[in-house]
Amino acid sequence: MTIEVLLNDAGGCGRFQIFLIICLFFNKFIVGWSMLQMSFAGLVPKWHCLSLNEVNTDNETLSACSLSTNVTGGSTICEGYHFLGPFNTIISEWSLVCDMRWVKATVTSIQMTGVLVGNLLSGQMSAFLGRKKTTYFFVLEHAVSNIIAAFSVNWQMFAVCRFFIGMGIGGVMVGVFPYSIEFSPMKWRPVLAVVPSWALGNCAVALAAVVFNDWSHIHLACGVIALIGLPGYFFAPESMRWLTVQGRVKEAEIVLAQIAKINQKVKPEKAATILQEVADTEKRARESGKKYTYIDVFRGWQTAKITFIFCYHWFVLSCVYYGISFGVGRLSGNVQLNIFLLAIVDVPAGLSTIYLCNKIGRKWTCVLFMGIACLSAFSSLVTEMYGPQATKGYIVRGLSLTAKMGIGAAWGSIQTWGAELYPTVTRNLGFGAANTVSRIGGIVASFVINFDDMMVISYIVIGCLSLVSVLCMLVTPETKGTDLADSILPAYKKGDNHDIAAHNEKDHMNSKSYEKTDTQITHM
């Protein structure tokens, strides 16, 4: 008997799980919006030089950093800039062009550094303080940071705010998915990975740009709307699994009773006995007074191998995802439409992974979509080098959208796969480690995937990174049909030649009643 059995007896995926997913994934929607705000806020509009407080509107001076002088035949720097177009971005707000053009990339890197810090803090805080307190702390911090950013008086203040916004994004991203998956039965875990809250949040950037046309108003709207997610704190309970492995069995029983009541079920019999068995197993597995840290996700060869492989996957996913997303201005067509399309393509592909993860498994679903991204990248490379000039831009845009779709779907699937490979006591730490490495991928994305200056090299990088990722997936164990592990086995902890998937499979074989229930749930 395992916690999986208790969840199914308490209603499986019932009203409680639906309400919880709405509460938690609303916050993921908001941080999806917040993450890509710089794709609009950092847009560089066309401009003309100002000379002696006069606008020079000659075509030769458009977006030029200096003016030619007829007297000496030399040039003189601009005294100011007159920006064109309907948008107000941080570029036009603080004249971040010419000798200040480095600020845009710096602010983006500062934001991604904040995301990295948030990943680290959230993973460790979730293990020590619990999923609930950690997640909602970052929800509040993120909302307040966006509101303050809207009133920035210079780019330095804005950059600091973007760091704290990034920290909130990283904290929420690490906390939400493991928090929700620990309340979900096995068959429904892939659904959580493809709930389109992140993609819809990305789409909200394009919509907000159309409605407001101002970076400040977009940040303010994001912060205010983010506050709507805070009342969820009073509905969402602490993770029953986390409480159990912490030895707080009575509190875990209360949470289980709450789940059963909302799902209109009776509290499962022998719940206290099962929860106590899980707590005792964990107590035996850990050293006296031991607290789990990031070291534990690298302890033992099999655990270290899985951690290294998944960290590499997340690095590739982040690097390619944000490299394409922040390079949206280089693609043919309307920028706002391209932002919307890059986000919305994740939805249909993501929904298909619900069926595929349960039909062909987590592993082969990831291989399929990462393979699509790899082929699209190499096809874009060939088109960019040899395609017809008249249609090349549109073909490359279509292939870039396809590559982004494959990356988005693979990322959703790999969240489920990775979560099932780690036990409860280190699950958030594993996610924290992978997210940390993925932020490094986001930080370097603008340097290794630069559509403005090196389109051909960028697609070579995308294709090669994706190909290596596919090869690594082939040597990673499948987790389809296995229960979530709650504790690290003593033999495994000592470095014995057992992998996490085998541990999960052992738990599954001891739970025949859950296996029967699992086969009766239809695919979505």
- Residue 109 CA to residue 113 CA, distance in Å, equals 6
User: Looking at the predicted structure, is the pLDDT value of residue 334 above 60?
Assistant: yes
In terms of pLDDT, which residue wins out, 299 or 407?
407
C-alpha distances in angstroms, 65 versus 58, 72, 85, 119?
13, 18, 18, 40
Helix (H, G, I), strand (E, B) or coil at 88: strand
Hey, what are 393's tokens?
């831009």
pLDDT for 77: 72
| 412 vs 118, higher pLDDT | 118
Pairing of strands 66-68, 47-51: unpaired
- How far is it, in rounded angstroms, from Cα 152 to Cα 159? 9
Distance CA 62, CA 48 (A): 5
User: Strands 80-83 and 47-51, how do they pair?
Assistant: antiparallel
Q: pLDDT per residue over 74-123, tens digit each?
A: 566 777 788 887 888 898 899 888 888 888 878 888 998 898 899 888 87
**What is the helix (H) or strand (E) element at residue 364, kind and residue range?**
helix 362-386
In the predicted model, what is the mean pLDDT of residues 249-260? Answer: 85
By DSSP bridging, strand 66-68 and strand 75-77 are antiparallel
H helix or E strand, kind and range, residue 106: helix 102-129
Q: How far is CA 11 from the centre of its chain?
A: 29
What's the CA angle centered on 272, arms 270 and 275, to 5 degrees? 110
pLDDT at 299 over 50: yes
Given a contact cutoff of 8 angstroms between Cβ atoms, the answer to whether 29 and 285 are in contact is: no
Mean pLDDT computed over 259-281:
79
Residue 26's pLDDT band (cuts 50, 70, 90): very high
Structure tokens at 357: 């993860």
User: H or E segment at 83?
Assistant: strand 80-83
Per the document, the length of the chain is 524
**pLDDT for 294:** 78
For the segment 358-385, the average pLDDT, to the nearest whole number, is 91
Domains of the chain and CATH, by start: 3-42+103-510 (1.20.1250.20)
Cα gap 417→425, rounded to integer Å: 17
